[in-house]
Amino acid sequence: MCRRGLINLEKVYNPKLVENRIYEFWENGGFFKANANSGKTPYTILMPPPNITGNLHMGHALDNTLQDIIARYKRMQGFEVLWLPGTDHAAIATEAKITAQMREEGVSKKDIGREAFMKRAYAWKEKYGGNICYQIKKLGSSCDWSRQRFTMDSDYSASVREFFVRLHKKNLIYRGKRIVNWCTKCLTSISDTEVEFEEECGRLWYIKYYFKDETEFITVATTRPETIFGDLALAINPDDSRCKKIIGKTVVVPICNREIKIIADINVEKDFGTGVLKVTPAHDCNDFEIGRRHDLEETFLVIDEKGFLNEKCGKYSGLERFEARKIVVNDLKSLNLIVKEEKIEHRVGSCYRCNSIIEPFVSEQWFVKMGSLAQSATEIVKSGKIKFVPERFSKVHLSWMENIKDWCISRQLWWGHRIPAWHCEECGGITISSDDEPEKCETCGCKKILQDEDSLDTWFSSALWPFSTLGWPDEKSEDLVYFYPTDTLVTGYDIIFFWVSRMIFSSLEVMKKEPFKQVLIHGLVRDSEGRKMSKSLGNGVDPVEIIEKYGADALRFALVSGITPGNDTRFSSEKLEGSRNFVNKLWNAARFIKMNVSYASPLHSSGVSADCLRNSLWSRWIVDRVNDLSKEVCENMEKFDLGLALHKIYSFFWGEFCDWYLEIFKIEINDEKKRENCKMVIHWVFGQILRLLHPFVPFVTEKIWGIFFDGVLAISNYSKFDANLEDKNSKSEAHGVISVISAIRTKCAEMRIRQDQKINVFILPETQNYELFKENLEIIRVLSRVKSVSFSSECQNSEVIVTDFAKIYLKTEEIFDKKEIKEHLETEGLHIEKQIKKNKILFENPEFLSKAPPKVVEKIKTLIFNLEEKQKKINKEIENFKIGG
């Protein structure tokens, strides 16, 4: 890496020439490697492992950027920072991708078998997992690659098995036939969180069920007539007035002519449809519950795993479920069994991976008992040991935990952790073991045992991320002891249930300690029109493409500026351009400083001496300002108000440092007495700016740092408030001069005075400000772009401006229109009068005086005083015009 010696810095910053080399420099230097023996206070962040399904998207870019900002900030503050990266095998998502790919090739899972499939999946992991890491590096992420983990690493897998075994021992895992959400395309069960519900326009058919041997019928409303083959009862609410009359009676299921009973159950809404529900326990969650209460056959399946009607459906068997619906409805109609048909808005669940409609389906699955786990996860958040930022997201976690049902953790997939359960062919007993291959059946001791075919929910393994990545189940592992509990988890609100909540209860279960102290929740990255970025809309943006075009720093800047924790953000090319411009501005400031302040050898940017500040207001001012800024920025950073912190640095750097200090520096550098001190100050202040900005835009700042200073910025100290550098007077003095310059500029623009009109300015300062202005006459002249500035008490036929610090007269060779000047003054006077009035009203109210804090009263008093002073001056000028005629 070219550390310095940039004699000719390019006019336009080119991130392409910088970023890759800087990252290599950091990585080779091992600056991001965490050390469990450093003796420093640890600060741990675990990267939410991206799925190996494909490429990183903008959401990842935001998530990673936020983490990197925090990691770099904490590292610069002297913490031993561990930011542990990794990837997730993403069982169902990856398997869906691979099978889709295979389908195109015309092969199926069955064709190639489990072993070959796993081989293929690992190859996929190598390819895409590697690509993801490449992308994370491109973003500038300062994570410790030596500790990189994958959720299917062999020791990680061992920890998953161990966890399973422990839960099983505590009776928190059970196996049983239950109704689950079944995806007929992925051919697996999925958990409740993995079902996405959407409001859809469907139909409600009113179907006649005749009483046995009677001509009377009862009408039942259903959205799923194709499931009548699975009807095992009709149910009615016990409070329904018809209930007594019909309860226990037998009705005949249409078409299949099976006889079923009418039962009473409180889960039937009296007011929905006809108030009578057909109960299909094997294909509806609600009906399953009712079935259990009334001893109905739970496993009476009529639809198979692929979504086709089975042999129980007579001539309809073999029909796809939605096809069957149409045919059944038609047949019912022709049998005159449909009373009416109406449109209905209802919620339909679909698979979060493949989007096909979920079939509630009874099958044998493994479950985690949630009761006690959920309770501990609730308590820890209520106790405040885990804090959500913003706080409101703790509610999301809590309300989910408080209403949770048991968690279905088995999946009929191959890609993932195979369930560590072995079935005995001899005795049918189940052996649960954390061994890779247990030798014999625990029950009968024979060796004929076969591993369960199912694998585990991907979230079952990612729930262990906080401790498995640090060495668990080895409880004495150095990393685990030192880095656990971790400090901050950064993630989007969309995976609170999926992951955050599950990490909390899993960690409490095995570690007996919270997995992290804070959870920083961020929102979604949307497109410029506020739409969610998605493949189907084609509005997704590839972070790497953006980096190629604008640079990683600009991307990071665009993602972070203007965000507030928990809120969504929009991403647009306009924002990106603004961000790139900022980076370029920074680069050019460096270029300017390099051109004017060249030291033979790079400096240690240790501090500024009081000596440096002695003879320049502007040095005192800028040092005080950057000192203030450091304080505010650190306060914001601690609260994770990263967008706000960045905004403050931005406006200081651009609006104060560049616009004022650098411009003034150009003038002061000509003063031999000030020159050296100025150089030292600019050097130091710029160093502080680089420190403050580094977590946000690490590449360009590191690059520039190398031009001016020794050492590595990434591991330098963050800028920090220093009470010794406070200088309150500098602020008002600088403001006094700046306000005069601004006033002249505004007036000139207003009056369309062109620069070539050579105007002369005379100022009359307040006596106490005389020295201040005397010192700064040249600065005022140059920055206001006027011909001359001098002191004078009065000046006929001149435009007059009154500021808090001075009266200013503008004079050109041309004579101003007196009337116009007077009018300007009068408008100004009117404006001031209005303000005075508004503030004086406060004092007419006795309650204001008695109740408002003295500080505020005092503040407003001086405000009024100042305004009145100004008003007097203006009136005097107006008076002059009258006398003058």
Partner RNA sequence: GGGAGCGUAGCUCAGCCGGUUAGAGCGCUUGCCUUACAAGCAGGAGGUCACAGGUUCGAGUCCUGUCGUUCCCACCA
Nearest residue to 415 via CA among 467, 465, 353, 373? 353
Stretch that binds RNA, among 26-34, 165-173, 477-485, 749-757 (CB under 7 A): 749-757
List 131, 742, 757, 792, residue binding RNA (CB under 7 A):
742
List 355, 856, 861, 869, residue binding RNA (CB under 7 A):
856
Q: Could you count the other beta carbons within 10 Å of the beta carbon of residue 90?
A: 25
Stretch that binds RNA, among 6-14, 329-337, 601-609, 685-693 (CB under 7 A): 6-14
Residue 826 CA to residue 875 CA, distance in Å, equals 8
List 285, 327, 427, 444, residue binding RNA (CB under 7 A):
285
Residue 17 CA to residue 158 CA, distance in Å, equals 44
- Using CB under 7 A as the binding rule, whether residue 403 contacts RNA is answered as yes
Binding mask 113-152 for RNA (x = CB under 7 A): ----------------------------------------
Q: What residue type is assigned to position 683 of the chain?
A: H
Least Å from the CB of residue 639 to RNA: 8
**In the sheet where 806-811 sits, what is the strand order?**
788-791, 760-765, 806-811, 799-802
The burial class, CB within 10 Å (0-12 / 13-18 / 19+), for 713 is buried
Q: Which helix (H) or strand (E) holds 449?
A: strand 449-451
Least Å from the CB of residue 368 to RNA: 16
Q: Which helix (H) or strand (E) holds 663?
A: helix 663-668
List 5, 7, 8, 11, residue binding RNA (CB under 7 A):
11
Binding mask 502-531 for RNA (x = CB under 7 A): ----------------------------x-
CB closer to RNA, 109 vs 870: 870
Q: What residue type is assigned to position 169 of the chain?
A: K
CB closer to RNA, 400 vs 773: 400
Residue 229 CA to residue 303 CA, distance in Å, equals 9
Q: Which helix (H) or strand (E) holds 684?
A: helix 672-693
Least Å from the CB of residue 618 to RNA: 14
Stretch that binds RNA, among 50-58, 120-128, 388-396, 534-542 (CB under 7 A): 388-396
List 284, 406, 457, 487, residue binding RNA (CB under 7 A):
284
List 863, 869, 872, 876, residue binding RNA (CB under 7 A):
863
Q: Could you count the other beta carbons within 10 Å of the beta carbon of residue 86?
A: 23
Cβ contact 521:492 at 8 Å: yes
- Using CB under 7 A as the binding rule, whether residue 347 contacts RNA is answered as yes
CB closer to RNA, 347 vs 382: 347
Residue 172, phi-psi category: left (phi > 0), alpha (psi -120 to 50), beta (remainder): alpha
Stretch that binds RNA, among 130-138, 575-583, 691-699, 721-729 (CB under 7 A): 575-583
Cβ contact 240:286 at 8 Å: no
And the tokens for 184?
């007929």
CB closer to RNA, 168 vs 178: 178
Please give the size of the binding site for RNA, defined by CB under 7 A.
92
CB closer to RNA, 16 vs 774: 16
CB closer to RNA, 156 vs 587: 587
Cβ contact 653:689 at 8 Å: yes
Q: Is 794 helix (H, G, I), strand (E, B) or coil?
A: coil
List 3, 306, 448, 754, residue binding RNA (CB under 7 A):
754
In the region spanning residues 173 to 232, those forming contacts with RNA, defined by CB under 7 A, are 192-193, 197, 221-224
And the tokens for 28?
């080779």
And the tokens for 90?
């993403």
Residue 450 CA to residue 429 CA, distance in Å, equals 11
Cβ contact 557:639 at 8 Å: no
In the region spanning residues 787 to 806, those forming contacts with RNA, defined by CB under 7 A, are none
Cβ contact 640:722 at 8 Å: no
CB closer to RNA, 33 vs 647: 647
List 126, 170, 272, 830, residue binding RNA (CB under 7 A):
272
Q: Is 805 helix (H, G, I), strand (E, B) or coil?
A: coil
Q: Could you count the other beta carbons within 10 Å of the beta carbon of residue 47?
A: 27
In the region spanning residues 613 to 642, those forming contacts with RNA, defined by CB under 7 A, are 641
Binding mask 697-736 for RNA (x = CB under 7 A): ----------------------------------------
Residue 726 CA to residue 418 CA, distance in Å, equals 63
In the region spanning residues 485 to 504, those forming contacts with RNA, defined by CB under 7 A, are 494, 497
Q: Is the dihedral of CA 24, 26, 32, 35 positive or negative?
A: positive
In the region spanning residues 642 to 671, those forming contacts with RNA, defined by CB under 7 A, are 643-644, 647, 651, 654-655, 658-659, 662-663, 666
Stretch that binds RNA, among 310-318, 577-585, 765-773, 821-829 (CB under 7 A): 577-585
